[in-house]
Amino acid sequence: MKLFNATHMKNNIFYRNKWIVILGIIILLSGCLQEKAPSEAAPSSQQDIQKIVQTPTVKTIAIERISDEMNMLNSKGWSQLSGQLGRTKATTLLWYHIKSNYNMDTRIVFGNPNKLDSSIAILASMGGESPLPKVTIKGDEYYVINPSTPGIISEFNYGYVFNDPRGADNYLGGSFSLGRQDNEKIEQWMGQNGVKISYTDLKKTE
């Protein structure tokens, strides 16, 4: 009888320990699965992480978008093209490009004392409020763009102001007109640098 009781107790202990081991294994497996489950808040892949990091801030202020484009043109070697055309013709080209793409009141401003040191001027009230530098011309604030660099400048000795290149061209007798050879230089530069400049209104023949 004692032998039977001892054997029975051993069996109970064995089965109890067996269930404890099985239960422990189940708990461990459950914890591993939870650790491996992806978090819903985390990016699902490296590509998603790159998309989050690379998303640019969209600028809504016109003059800041123009400034960014001027920086891009400068990085593409605009100074090489403006050197071939000359400052006044580069002024005309950039004036039409800004006028065509941003549809705002854009002026041509002569330099002083050298009238040929021309620049482009955009009324600050139309370009939008920005920390970019402004120049006061005849009582009004303008963003002034150097057509040779190109970029927005903080100082400019101004002379006469014209609404468009045609008025400036009539005053100086052809200094702002783009001819056939100028168009060829522009087309070649755009092709070499992968840049599109709007200048349809300037195509003339000589």
- Per residue in 14-31, pLDDT tens? 455 555 656 556 655 555
124 shares its domain with 186: yes
165 shares its domain with 66: yes
3 shares its domain with 81: no
pLDDT at position 89: 96
C-alpha separations of 21 from 9, 27, 33 in Å: 18, 10, 19
pLDDT at position 189: 96
128 shares its domain with 27: no
pLDDT at position 19: 55
pLDDT at position 199: 81
106 shares its domain with 181: yes
100 shares its domain with 191: yes
- Domain annotation covers residue 124: yes
- Domain annotation covers residue 54: no
What is the residue range of 6's domain? 1-36
- Domain annotation covers residue 160: yes
Secondary structure (3-state) at 40: coil
pLDDT at position 60: 82
Is residue 151 a contact partner of residue 67, using CB atoms and an 8 Å limit? Answer: yes
pLDDT at position 103: 85
181 shares its domain with 144: yes
21 shares its domain with 107: no
E strands, the chain, are 106-111, 119-123, 135-137, 140-146, 151-153, 158-162
Residue (of 65, 88, 83, 67) closest to 162 by Cα position: 88
Positions of the chain with pLDDT lower than 50, given as ranges: 1-11, 13-14, 32-33, 35-41, 43, 49-56, 203-206
pLDDT at position 59: 65
For the chain, what is the domain count? 2
- Domain annotation covers residue 135: yes
Report how far residue 177's alpha carbon sits from residue 166's, in angstroms, rounded to the nearest whole number. Answer: 8
- Domain annotation covers residue 45: no
- Domain annotation covers residue 96: yes
pLDDT at position 160: 97
